[in-house]
Structure 1
C-alpha cells in the first residue's frame, strides 16, 4: 500500500509539471492562461509562441505520462506477479498512477488547478503502458487532424476510439480481458471528452476554429 501511494503521488507530481506555463514565463514573461484558450497545453503554446516551443511542450507532456506509468511499474512489479500477466492488483496500481498523471496535468496544484486538457499526457501514458494502443490513438489523431484541421475534433475522435483499441489489444495479444486497462481507457475517454465540452459545443455550432486561423480555442494539452 505504501508503494502504491508513492506511485500515485509521483504520478500526480509528474503530471503537474506545468510545461506550457513555464514556456510562457521563460519566453515572454506572461501567464499563458491569460492568452488564447487559457490552456497550458501545446496547441495554445503553438498559437502564442510558435512551433519550436510547442514541440518542446508537447514532448515534455508526453514524457510526463510515460514516466508516471513506467515509474509505477518499477515500484510495484517487485511486489508480486510480473506486470503483463494480468495481475489485477499490479495492473490497478499502474493504471492509478497513470490517471494521477492525467489529473496532475489537468488540475496542477502549482497553478491553482487550471492546467491543460490531458491529451498529450494521456498519449504518453498509453505509450508507456500499451505502446501499440498509444501509437494507434496518435495515428487516429493525426489522420483526423489532417482531414479536418481541427485539434479538438481530432482529440475527441482519438479519445473515443481508445476503448475499442484497448479491447483489440487484448485480443491480438491473447492475454484475455484486463479490467484495469479497460477501466483506464474508459476513464481517459471520459476525462478528455469532458475537458473538451466547450469545444464540442462550438463544433456542433460550426464555430470551432481550425489550424491556421489567427485565433483558436482548442488545445490538446
Structure 2
C-alpha cells in the first residue's frame, strides 16, 4: 500500500509541472497565463509560438505517461491504476508549483490513457482529430472526446471505466466556459 501512496503523490507532483509556463519561460516567450485565454496549455501556447506548442504538447503527454509507466512497473491493482490518471490530471489543473492555476488537462489525460491501451487511445485521438479537423475548435474536440471516451472505456477497459468516466467529468468541468462560448458563437478557432 505504501508504494501506491508514493506513486499517487508522485503523480500529483508530476502533473503539477507546468510545461507551458516552463517552456515559454526557458524560450523567453510571454507567460501563457498573461495572454489569450490565459490558460497555461498547448492551445494557448499555440497562439504564441507553434513550434513551442509542440514541445508543450509532448511534455504534457509525457507527464501523463510517466506515473502510469511507474504504476505498471510496480503492478499496482486496477482500481489504483485508474486513480493515477485522475491525480495526475488534478496536478495539471491545480499545480502546487504554480499557485494552483494550471491547464485543462487534456494532453496529460491523453498521455495517461495511452498507456492503458492502444485500442482505447487510438479511438480517442481519432475522435479528437476528426472533430478538430471538421470544426477547427480544439475545445470542441476535447469536449466531444470527453463525452465519448467513457463509452469506449466500458467497451475496451471496463475494469477502469468508472475512473475514466470521472476523468472525463473533470475535463468537461474545466471546459464549461468553452461550452458557453461555443453556444454563443464566441469560441476561437485554431
1:204 to 173, 179, 183: 183
2:172 to 189, 193, 205: 193
Q: Deviations over 1:93-152 (max 9, x none)?
A: 222222111011111101001110010001001101122111211110000000000111
- Kindly indicate whether the alpha-carbon contact (under 8 Å) linking 1:65 and 1:125 is maintained by their aligned counterparts in 2: yes
Q: Deviations over 1:39-94 (max 9, x none)?
A: 1111111101x22110011011011111111111212x1x7xxxxxxxxxx01122
User: Is 1:137 matched up with 2:136?
Assistant: no
- 1:28 offset after TM fit, Å? 2.4
Kindly report structure 1 stretches of 4+ aligned residues shifted beyond 6 Å.
Answer: none
User: Counterpart of 2:21?
Assistant: 21
Q: TM-score, normalised by structure 2?
A: 0.95
- Structure 1 unaligned runs (5+)? 80-89, 171-176, 212-221
- Kindly indicate whether the alpha-carbon contact (under 8 Å) linking 2:15 and 2:89 is maintained by their aligned counterparts in 1: yes
Question: Helix, strand or coil for the counterpart of 1:208?
Answer: coil
- Kindly indicate whether the alpha-carbon contact (under 8 Å) linking 1:24 and 1:30 is maintained by their aligned counterparts in 2: yes
Distance 2:123 2:100 in 1: 30
Distance 1:191 1:101 in 2: 12
Distance 1:166 1:30 in 2: 38
Q: How does 1:88-167 map to 2 (within 5 A)?
A: 90-167=77-154
Number of residue pairs aligned between Structure 1 and Structure 2:
190
Distance 1:99 1:188 in 2: 6
User: Counterpart of 1:57?
Assistant: 56
Higher normalized contact order (CA 8 Å, seq sep 6+, divided by chain length): 1
- Structure 2 unaligned runs (5+)? none
